[in-house]
Structure 1
Amino acid sequence: MDLYVYISEHEHFTDFNVSSALFWQKRDLVYGDWTSGENADGCYEHYGEVDISQSVQQNGSIYIHVYFTKSGFHPDPRQKNLYRRLATVHTSRMINKYKRRRFQKTKNLLTGETEADPEMIKRAEDYGPVEVISHWHPNLTINMVDDHTPWVKGSVPPPLDQYVKFDAISGDYYPILYFNDYWNLQKDYFPINETLQRLPFRLSFCPLSLWRWQLYAAQSTKSPWNFLGEDLYEQSDEEQDSVKVALLETNPYLLALTIVVSIVHSIFEFLAFKNDIQFWNSRQSLEGLSVRSVFFGVFQSLVVLLYILDNETNFVVQVSVFIGLLIDLWKITKVMDVRLDRENKVAGVFPRITFKDKSTYIESSTKVYDDMAFRYLSWILFPLLGCYAVYSLLYLEHKGWYSWVLSMLYGFLLTFGFITMTPQLFINYKLKSVAHLPWRMLTYKALNTFIDDLFAFVIKMPMMYRIGCLRDDVVFFIYLYQRWIYRVDLTRINEFGVSGEDQVSPRPPLPAGSPPTLPDGVPPGGEKTPEDKKKD
């Protein structure tokens, strides 16, 4: 075969006589030859520079046209003696890529100053906050699939069907050409502007096996989520880049461990979610549980949701956070009596929602300890919140006052989020018990926290986030310490002469004439005194 590669600004190429359009010509290639080439792997490379016009400099398009012909033929249809339709295969594509660049106009709310690049500010004023810019990547690979499968038109499975071209008369298909840019990372693209006169371009030709082609074609297919907009498509490209970098730079054993741990993390996340719902759905008493922590969790989830809506975030992440907020709102109905007061309406239209503590919470000592814990906590929480708000206002830039409030609250929760767990620790300390906690759910969440610690040191991320991954570990170890010091004493004998060991082992028969008893040692019709309950 002979290879002809042309570079043009036109999608439909006809300038075969223009010598400057021919970028690369390679003769006497053999179909399915894996032994020749520059590195004895069947691959050939060509490096050159592409001259671009003013149109391309100003966001114009540029195309590559690839022709393979049987040796001795020419791809130009106007050369009647050298052109043959069945001896020529052709494919083309646009080789520049349009990417959207967003400009976030932020400033210090007190001084009005910004550290943004003045050139970026000027471009944002000229083109708006979203600018579409043509980008260039200097590498591209042309693959010819080495395959002899007898494909029949209409039976090629997707996404392979878009690459297999059949001859309308004979029904045979042409050799399959595939432009492979899978390993072109987004960070390696650079913008095309007026300062560039030539573009560097390295073009490779390699044979490709069928199964590898199927993998590349499947990965290059657009995600079904793309109907949600181009923002999600661009984010998916960046997410795929992180996977590619991990495949290229990570140790294979560490990569395998990361994949296994990721699967285990997903399983534990589901189990923690399931057990959390089961625990709150079956809970009849609020003894030992902090109701105010539930409300604080709702506030925290609401702040996170508003923050990611104010900033550009993946749609899937927004949905997951929203579902988490709904679950936290559902927990309120389990810890409090929520009612709609239809007589006392808001603005005379909407029923007023009333909240009332459940009786099991009012009658228990937990309410006293919960109030005490949050009173002590407010002495630390509110000064920290005030200091962080002043710091954020003085030294950070924001889009507006609304963004300042959200970013200030989000940053505060990210830094001091562990404080929401301390009231429960205080209640455990005052009750000298941890039997009321959902230990199965806590165990799953703790295991996920340890897995997050592993990712924090494997994946590149800010140091503050890594420190944040360790804070939940400290709280959980305190939970474990409380479980160890507040163990159940099975040898203690209660007022009925029964110990925990007796309840585990078979009970001896009752003496003749003794009144029947319930399993917990309480006579029928009898009731324990508050002192007895406290001892138990």
Structure 2
Amino acid sequence: MFNGSLYIHVYLVKPGFSPDPNAGNKYSLRYTVYKSKMLTRYKRRRLSRTTNLITGHTDSHPDLTANSSTPSGVQYLPPVTHWHPNLTINLVDDQSPWVKGSVPMPLDQFIEFYSPTNEYYPVVYLNDYWNLNEDYKPVNETTPVLPIRITFSPLSLFKWQLYAAQTAKKTWFNQMIVTSVLQPENENDEEQDAIKKALIETNPWLLVITVVVSIVHSVFELLAFKNDIQFWKTRESLEGLSVRSVFFNVFQSFIVVLYVLDNDTNFVIKLSVVLGLLIEVWKIKKVLSIKVSYDSLIFNAFPRIHVEYQSSYVESDTKKYDQMAFRYLSWMLFPLLTAYCGYSLIYEEHRGWYSWILSVSYGFLLTFGFIMMTPQLFINYKMKSVAHLPWRMLTYKALNTFIDDLFAFVIRMPTLYRLGCLRDDVIFFIYLYQRWIYPMDPNRVNEFGVSKEMLDAQTKKKLEKVDANGELPSDDAATHTSKSLSTLSNGDDNHQEENTPSVRKRQSGFIKK
């Protein structure tokens, strides 16, 4: 069979009648239902541009591989006829009193009326909804015979309405200008296949749970972003926090964004990783002291910019522990990175050197990136404290990771992205273990060098002075006191620290005042 179109014609008649108009009295237009449908589809096949960068060979079919004469902007081959062997003929079980001219969309395109009596014909629906696009096979001169399997079954009115709505949605969507310009039809087909696979292969109860949990996942993602921003916005001291991890997180988030944009990934994931990158970049100004000096200009034109760590980080032992942790990690990371780059270059195919660098960076970060999350664990171990960590943000992210473990294999995403979920699980369990072995000190001071006992004494003196002068009612004072104390006693560890040497130094300064 050559590149062409193949249709199926379906006739349903009452017993004793014939669909042939030349059959004389056995033919009746009133008792004849006719439907037709094109079985073949014109589909474009994606052009492969991946090769082994060393040998130049590829495992892809030669007809689907780009060569030196192929323009760089071409992503798909010209459309060819594709065939799927399955078709279901559904007879809709419908007793609705439809009236001509009042049938709602999109059902009106399937219901036909017999003009002399205004009765409508039985609805015959040629159903190929569950035919996955990846199962369509190209047709050429090497396929002289095409198999076909036809299934005849009844269909309820409710299910038919769902199928009709999906058919109309696809038709309208493909006719939109945005679809033809910004999103090729093949990408839309792949998105539809992902949904159909989830409906076919996933247990219904698990699917319902996945839908509910995915909504919760989005809520937790927003809460994690919100609490992360709130923690760093109000943070005055960097003691106990790994500043180098902040810079590494910026680099890692940037690589993740590039990799996700370079692959076919769910839009929600793209939005999430981009937002995460923006937050990580925003943290830089919280860990660095950036000053612009106009006293000494560069080339007598540009101001000189001075960048240094915050004093709370330099003056504490955190910087020393941070340097130690990254020095130990470098002994392990560099050999692993070299081995991973060599393996990817020898055994894997890539579109080019940029794609190889991006793939290696992303794969290495997700495979061994959990090692770069351990400096904070090392700092916690040396300081015997976890009070300086943003526990609310960590909790929300951990819950999201557990949710990812549930439905990461339902939503289409890169395999390496799924491996990152397991990495985050392990790290969070270690954080929980450290929180358990390093109990909280109820008399510890917060990042401002103020403890609960100091605030109680200060508030008591203020109340005695106010009561003596009669300037503030006691109820308002009590309310003010409870709000102040709740900051230290509400269990929010985002604003609390252990009694470390640098904190005691700030505490002594506060007492002298």
Pick closer, same or farther for the CA change 1:237–1:343 going to 2, 3 Å.
Answer: farther
Tell whether 2:181 aligns with 1:229.
no
Aligned length: 461
Distance 1:484 1:98 in 2: 61
Q: Secondary structure at the match of 1:130?
A: coil
Answering whether residue 404 of structure 2 is matched by residue 417 of structure 1, we say no
Q: Provide the residue aligned with 1:393 in structure 2.
A: 345
Alignment-mate amino acid for residue 280 of structure 2: D
Q: Could you tell me which residue of structure 1 aligns to residue 88 of structure 2?
A: 141
> Tell me, what secondary structure is at the counterpart of 2:147?
strand
Who is 1:213 aligned against?
160
User: Looking at both structures, which has the greater relative contact order when contacts are Cα pairs under 8 Å and sequence separation is at least 6?
Assistant: 2
Query: How many angstroms does 1:413 deviate by?
Result: 1.0
Question: Which of 159, 179, 202 is 2:106 aligned to?
Answer: 159
Q: Could you tell me how far apart the structure 1 residues matched to 2:96 and 2:24 are?
A: 32
Q: How far apart are 1:375 and its partner, in Å?
A: 3.3
1:289 aligns with 2:249: no
Q: Could you tell me the TM-score, scaled by structure 2's length?
A: 0.73
Does the aligned pair in 1 maintain the 2:89–2:126 contact within 8 Å?
A: yes
Residue 36 of structure 2 aligns with which residue?
92
Matched, 1:184 2:131: yes
Which residue number in structure 1 is paired with residue 490 of structure 2?
none
Kept after mapping to 1: 8 A contact 2:198/2:410: no
CA distance in 2 between partners of 1:162 and 1:81 (Å): 30
Query: C-alpha distance in 1, partners of 2:111/2:166?
Result: 17
8 Å CA contact 1:144, 1:176 repeated in 2: yes
User: C-alpha distance in 1, partners of 2:433/2:149?
Assistant: 61
1:475 Cα deviation after fit: 1.4
Q: What is the aligned-residue identity percentage?
A: 58
Contact 1:271 1:441 in 2 (8 A): yes
Greater displacement, 418-427 / 160-169 = 160-169
Distance 2:371 2:387 in 1: 22
Residues in 1 aligned to 2:257 and 2:443: alpha-carbon distance in whole angstroms = 50
CA contact (8 A) 2:10 2:36 kept: yes
> Which one is further off, 236-245 or 350-359?
350-359
Q: Tell me which moved more, 319-328 or 478-487.
A: 319-328
Structure number with the higher helix fraction is: 2
Q: Is the 8 A contact 1:160 1:217 kept in 2?
A: yes
Question: Is the CA contact (8 Å cut-off) linking 2:199 and 2:207 kept in structure 1?
Answer: no
Aligned to 2:151, what secondary structure does the other structure show?
strand
Structure 1 residue 76: Cα displacement: 5.3
Q: Say if 2:88 and 2:127, in contact at 8 Å, map to a contact too.
A: yes
Which deviations, in whole Å up to 9, do the C-alpha atoms of 1:443-498 show, x marking residues without a partner?
122223233334578999999777654322221122112212221234899xxxx9
Q: What SS does the corresponding residue of 1:68 show, helix, strand or coil? A: strand
Partners of 1:535 and 1:503 lie apart in 2 by 12
**29, 49, 65: which one aligns with 1:105:** 49
- Give SS of 2:148's match: strand
Asked if the contact 1:147–1:209 (Cα under 8 Å) also holds between the matched residues in 2, the reply is: yes
Measure, in 1, the Cα distance between the counterparts of 2:301 and 2:13. 77
- Contact (CA 8 Å) 2:386, 2:438: kept in 1 or not? yes
Judge conservation of contact 1:108–1:398 (CA < 8 Å) in 2: yes
Q: Is the 8 A contact 2:238 2:313 kept in 1?
A: yes
Decide which moves more: 192-201 or 357-366.
Answer: 357-366
Matches within 5 A, 1:347-358: 356-358=308-310
Distance 1:377 1:209, change over 3 A: same
Checking the alignment, whether the CA contact within 8 Å between 1:166 and 1:173 is kept in structure 2 is: yes
Instruction: Describe the SS at the equivalent of 1:101.
Output: coil
Structure 2 letter corresponding to 1:164: I
Tell me the residue number matched to 1:242: 197
Q: Which runs of 5+ in 2 are unaligned?
A: 469-480, 486-499, 509-513
Q: Residues of 2 paired with 1:68 and 1:344: CA distance?
A: 91
